[in-house]
Amino acid sequence: MSSALPPAAVHEWRTLGRAVVDRLARYLEASGASEGAVLPWREPDSSVCDWPVDGDGGADLLPLLDRVAAESNHLHHRGSSPSSA
């Protein structure tokens, strides 16, 4: 059975996948160490302006993943549990 992707594309896909897993692991380590705010508040208008819609797509996945993780609510953060008070 042959691959639907050429070997170079398969290698690139694996490399990107490993980078995504590494970034998510670092994010979970940081949140497990209670780093950062649980609910990072921003004015809604500010958030909307900072996330413009790009109809062309093509966002670079790794920086986008870092930004989404940083600007999201972190309810799994140790500081978000009532028992952690």
Confidence of residue 10 (pLDDT cuts 50, 70, 90): very high
56 in a domain, yes or no?
Answer: yes
Structural domain range at position 58:
7-81
**74 belongs to a structural domain:** yes
- pLDDT tens-digit series, residues 31-51: 777 777 777 788 888 877 877
Burial of 74 (0-12, 13-18, 19+ CB in 10 A): buried
SS3 state of residue 84 = helix
Distances (CA, A) of 22 to 16, 18, 69: 10, 6, 13
If one counts the domains in the chain, the total is 1
In a domain, 2, yes or no: no
Cα atoms in the Cβ-side hemisphere of radius 13 Å centred on 68: 10
Q: Beta-carbon neighbour count of residue 18 at 10 Å? A: 10
Answer whether residue 26 is part of any domain. yes
Average pLDDT of the chain, as a whole number: 78
